[in-house]
Amino acid sequence: MKIKKVLVCDTIHSKGIELLKNEEDIEVFDASSYPKDELLDILEDYDIAITRSSTPVNQAFLERAKNLKAIVRAGVGVDNVDIEGCSKKGIIVMNVPTANTIAAVEMTMAHLLACARSFPNANNDLKLDRVWKREKWYGIELYEKKLGIIGFGNIGSRVGVRAKAFGMDVVAYDPYIDPKKAIDLDIKYTENFDDILACDFITIHTPKNKETIDMISYDEIKKMKDGVRLVNCARGGLYNEDALYDNIKSGKIAYAGIDVFVKEPAINNKLLDLENISVTPHLGANTYESQEKIATQAAGQAISAARGSSYPNALNLPIDESKMPTFVKPYLELVQKMGSLTAQVSKAPIRTLKIVAEGEISKYLDSLMTFALVGSLGESMGEQINYVNAEFVAKEKGIKTVTETFKGDSVFKNRIDIYLSTNKGTVDISGTAFGDDIQRIVKFDGFSLDVEPKGKMIIFKNTDVPGVIGEIGTILAKNGINIADFRLGRNNKSQALAVILVDNSVTKDVINELSKLEACIDVSYVIL
């Protein structure tokens, strides 16, 4: 078992460190307390780095990171990461985009309510100045007001659902989503940005890029209603701060709720001088729950990257995921895991790799094949295989690649099947994804299942006779191996297939012991 080394450059929640320490093939070092110049001195020894915003991943960092294969940015923003520089050195950059979703959604709702009722001002009047003036603080209700949401991804869509619960009339604008995402939530979708500008409240939830910087400025505000109320809990600079200041001061904007600024810390920002604005110091992700999620997800990504099984939320792949619908991304990760799983079970040189896809995902067969090749070839080639060279390596090795579209009628909206053939035979596997991040294996070697492709798993095929589950449990218990999940499938040939997710590493001796059970047809140990 080859040990991979993970360096934690900045402080993350202890649960993330604990997760890394529990993996027997991972060696972790917490260098979050190191001065940044001393951090550079130890970088060369590590395969994976976990950073936050306080470690600049710049030229000096990359020059020292001679063995680094991947960087996990524990958070959403990657402003401190030289992605182009990482790409030139073959370092994959990942972020953790969804861990703080609920925290950011609830922060947005807090600012929406503050915009409607001026709670911060009333609080200061009473608490700091000891003034009791109820008549000074008349607000408006959210009920039956129109809310315009710019950007309808993980955060924007959840804001929409909560706003609907307040009785608001919600309009969504996002040219990069399928309109059905909004319509299915009983939310109006518009392609006309002026429909957003006509709303009573407006909130923005987009990434910060050339297209979205100053997305709301003087011209856009001029088209808005007098007395409009604006919220930004996404990124500083999406609203032009000069335009915001002038129009809040004039009263065109009745109130604003701002959590993010162009330059932070924003202790001298002129917006702070205005009365009709509620401000917070970039607290969108500042909940105990989100910090734990960020740490554990970052640790999980580091483990997957160290093993080469997948690179969740990779930002610098040769395939431009930004131009793909959001539903495609989990399938790319899923198909790589499926390729890795079939290769680990086959344990033989690959002759043919075939992918069959049904549904909308079938439009992306070429990309799916690239990821499947990285997963399947990674078992034998390790770090030598990547997304750039996968197809060339496959041709060089004489591996035949086949892609097909399934046009039949099944219960799945989208599904991927992989058939991996070697001189020992063919292993087949089917998978699907639900929502943005729920991946499932639904069939393996002809057996219907429902398994999350993650972690350590024993795949045990046997004759379908009584007592097998008990025998497996006894052997694992005797060897101190805890069962996390047990999924069972059966076929019409009096055979059964168990996929057993375990918390502990499984040795060859344990696999040999399982293989000697009378009912055993085949047993494999897989790590994803």
* Residue 523 DSSP one-character state: E
CATH number at residue 485: 3.30.70.260
Average pLDDT over residues 85-98: 86
Last residue of a domain, one of 231, 263, 279: 279
Question: 111 and 194: one domain?
Answer: yes
Average pLDDT over residues 385-393: 74
Catalytic residue among 13, 73, 235, 307: 235
Question: 107 and 211: one domain?
Answer: yes
Question: 340 and 417: one domain?
Answer: yes
Last residue of a domain, one of 405, 429, 453: 453
CATH number at residue 381: 3.30.1330.90
Question: 413 and 484: one domain?
Answer: no
- CA of residue 252 relative to chain centroid, distance: 38
Instruction: Report whether 205 contacts 156 (CB < 8 A).
Output: yes
Average pLDDT over residues 407-428: 87
Beta-carbon count within 10 A of 129 CB: 9
Last residue of a domain, one of 222, 254, 279: 279
Instruction: Report whether 216 contacts 240 (CB < 8 A).
Output: yes
Question: 182 and 124: one domain?
Answer: yes
Question: 147 and 250: one domain?
Answer: yes
Taking the C-alpha atoms of residue 49 and residue 64, their distance in angstroms, rounded to an integer, is 12
Taking the C-alpha atoms of residue 383 and residue 461, their distance in angstroms, rounded to an integer, is 31
pLDDT reading at 383 higher than 60:
no
pLDDT reading at 73 higher than 60:
yes
Question: Three-class SS string for 406-452?
Answer: CCCCCCCCCEEEEEEEECCEEEEEEEEEECCCEEEEEEECCEEEEEC
List, in sequence order, every residue forming a beta bridge with 201; answer none if it has no partner: 147, 229
Please give the structure tokens belonging to residue 218. 């003087």
Q: Which residues contact 495 (CB under 8 A, 6 or more apart)?
A: 447, 461, 462, 463, 464, 521
32-46, 373-387, 422-436, 491-505: which range is least confident on average?
A: 373-387
Directed axis angle between helix 288-307 and helix 101-117, to 10°?
A: 150
Question: 70 and 153: one domain?
Answer: no
Average pLDDT over residues 88-105: 89
205 catalytic, yes or no? no
pLDDT, tens only, 128-183: 999 998 988 999 999 999 999 999 988 999 999 999 999 999 999 998 777 888 99
Task: Provide φ and ψ at 16, rounded to 5°.
Answer: -70, -45
- CA triple 343-350-348, angle to 5 deg: 65
% of the chain exceeding 70 in pLDDT: 97
Question: 51 and 159: one domain?
Answer: no
235 catalytic, yes or no? yes
Question: 459 and 448: one domain?
Answer: no
Instruction: Report whether 453 contacts 334 (CB < 8 A).
Output: yes
Question: 248 and 109: one domain?
Answer: yes
Taking the C-alpha atoms of residue 150 and residue 189, their distance in angstroms, rounded to an integer, is 11
Question: 325 and 440: one domain?
Answer: yes
Q: Which of 278, 283, 248 is nearest to 118 (CA)?
A: 278
Catalytic residue among 64, 282, 351, 487: 282
Q: What's the domain count of the chain?
A: 4
Question: 46 and 194: one domain?
Answer: no
Average pLDDT over residues 254-267: 95
pLDDT, tens only, 219-231: 999 999 999 999 9
CATH number at residue 227: 3.40.50.720
Task: Give the three-class secondary structure for 485.
Answer: strand
pLDDT, tens only, 421-474: 988 899 999 999 987 678 999 999 999 999 999 999 999 999 999 999 999 999
Catalytic residue among 38, 44, 63, 264: 264
Expressed as residue numbers, the domain containing 474 is 455-528
Task: Provide φ and ψ at 189, rounded to 5°.
Answer: -110, 135
Please give the structure tokens belonging to residue 58. 């710049």
